[in-house]
Structure 1
Amino acid sequence: MIKKRLVGVVTVKDGWAVQSMGFERHLPMGKPEVVIENLDRWGADEILVQCIDRTRQNLGPDLKLLERISRKGLSTPLIYVGGIRSVEEGVAAVQAGAERIGIDTLLREDPATAAALAEPLGAQALIAMLPLSIKDGKLTWLDHRHARSTAIGAETTAVLKAGAISEALVIDWKHEGQREGFDTRLLDRFPVANMPLIAFGGLSDADQLRAVLERPNVVAAGIGNFLAYREHAVQQFKQQLLGLPLRPPTYAEPAWA
């Protein structure tokens, strides 16, 4: 039975796929649709598309991008993150082609509305996006818009405990883009003991991935930049992780080959 997943993370800024370092520096890669098609063909278990400028620019979800991706006929489930401010916008993102959606700012600023998304979509379609770090020995949650970190609030914790959201993406934002940078203390100190977690940020090495995925509460690992450095990186990681309950690597060729 497959219980663990490798998630390919595609960061989108100003309509282009970018490599991201610490949520601050970005290097252009090309059209997001091309990067996503490659991840689909190479056997990623899920693809997460995070449009990092939608909330700051008050633009709402990028439905046109989702519609373009949907027309590609991907076989890999798609997670969309970026700009979702209401139940209606969350539903619209799913209708445009996302199987699941991730929420960050909405979860911080309006936890009740974030929980309300579970009514039309189901908890399995919702992922909490939590860029975390350790400061003075305590777990803190980064607020992108105001460039500050605070503790995870009681209302947010209550929503997570209530089961309205199926999984939490634990993002080591300080080490994003750094080789072997993921801080496992973020997993150790997560405030909801039984929450299924996805680890992301600085995961670049097979041994490091194995150590994270062997944790009982970690259901997936997200990899972003380090899938872009070489072709077939998904398959190579999966070969190195044999023995874990992962879907086997695939080697499908592009339709034009």
Structure 2
Amino acid sequence: MSEQMRIGTSLLLQNQNCVQSYGWELLRPLGDADTAVSALSEYACDDISFIRIARGDDCLAEFTKDLDVIRQLKCSTPVAFGGGLRSITHLDLLRGLPIERLVFSSAFITKDVQLLKHAQENFGRQSIQCLLPVSAQADEFEVFCCNKNRYIKLINLDFDFISEFANEIILYDTRHDGCASGFDARILNAVPISPNRLVLTGGIGKAEVKWAKKLRAAGVLIDNKTLHQESSIAGYRYAARM
């Protein structure tokens, strides 16, 4: 965990290309990963999180193709990778890749102890992040379980288990996914984990960046809109200093 809040971005991968997501449902093509990374490197992004869209059944052949995209990146920015990390076979394919953090979601929701222990032993606990795609439904919160392709109640999660195996937790506000702002602050009240272990994404605007810094959050991830000059990382970094 860093004492200084990181300002990074998330890039969603589908069929070896980046896509823009809106509300966790609508996906629009964004372009190839290498072009996106080149632009983000110029904006002095602290880190880049590549998340594969792997809802429901996933194909190992497609996973391998997506890894080829990561392998070929020319990037000096720290990279996190996740989406479909569901077996030891998947983890073993990551060896030697330019990846600093591994992002798990379903493994934490279903409590896959064997997989997470293997990840800890081979990549180090400090590299492991837990992604929780959370949606507010009235006064209740749900979390999307990717391998089951459905939402379940957030209160049913074992947060002691998550704290044991994850170094950081990414809270992804799926209702504000793709929005310029609006991250639902109530999500933090529903997650009994210290803010200095939280990375916030989904509806992160400049006001949310300032708020997250006051909370001493570990970081924020701005979504793909950082590829546009008017929404560059530099602007968010300036907002964090105000």
TM-score by length of 2: 0.87
- Alpha carbons of structure 1 residues 113 and 138: separation in structure 2 relative to 1, 3 Å: farther
Residue 120 in structure 1 maps to residue 122 in structure 2: yes
- Alpha carbons of structure 1 residues 143 and 2: separation in structure 2 relative to 1, 3 Å: closer
Q: How far does the alpha carbon of each residue in 1:66-120 deviate from its partner, in whole angstroms, 9 at most, with x for none?
A: 4443444411110001111123422432532211110011222243134312121
SS of the residue 1:95 aligns to: coil
Residue 229 in structure 1 maps to residue 228 in structure 2: yes
2:218 matched to which residue of 1? 219
For residues 10-89 of structure 1, the aligned pairs below 5 Å read 10-53=11-54, 56-59=57-60, 62-89=63-90
1:157 matched to which residue of 2? 159
> 4+ residue stretches of structure 1 with deviation over 6 A?
none
Residue 192 of structure 1: how far off its partner (Å): 2.8
Instruction: Give RMSD over aligned pairs.
Output: 2.4
2:238 matched to which residue of 1? 239
Distance 1:75 1:228 in 2: 17
For residues 178-217 of structure 1, the aligned pairs below 5 Å read 178-193=179-194, 196-204=197-205, 206-216=206-216
For residues 67-146 of structure 1, the aligned pairs below 5 Å read 67-116=68-117, 117-144=119-146, 145-146=148-149
Distance 1:48 1:107 in 2: 18
Code of the residue aligned with 1:140 in structure 2: it is: E
Distance 1:190 1:21 in 2: 23
More helix by share: 2
Distance 1:141 1:232 in 2: 28
- Mapped contact 1:61–1:83 kept (Cα < 8 A): no
Distance 1:152 1:97 in 2: 35
- Mapped contact 1:47–1:77 kept (Cα < 8 A): yes
- Mapped contact 1:91–1:121 kept (Cα < 8 A): no
- Mapped contact 2:9–2:224 kept (Cα < 8 A): no
- Mapped contact 2:108–2:162 kept (Cα < 8 A): no
Distance 1:68 1:135 in 2: 36
Unaligned runs of 5+ in 2: none
TM-score by length of 1: 0.83
Q: How far does the alpha carbon of each residue in 1:185-233 deviate from its partner, in whole angstroms, 9 at most, with x for none?
A: 11122123466000000112x12211122203x1100111321333671
SS of the residue 2:215 aligns to: coil
- Mapped contact 2:44–2:234 kept (Cα < 8 A): yes
1:147 matched to which residue of 2? 150
- Mapped contact 2:50–2:82 kept (Cα < 8 A): yes
SS of the residue 1:11 aligns to: strand
SS of the residue 1:93 aligns to: coil
Distance 2:6 2:194 in 1: 20
Unaligned runs of 5+ in 1: 244-257
Distance 1:91 1:3 in 2: 32
- Mapped contact 2:195–2:215 kept (Cα < 8 A): no
Q: How far does the alpha carbon of each residue in 1:152-198 deviate from its partner, in whole angstroms, 9 at most, with x for none?
A: 545x4232232x21000000011101221210111122123466000
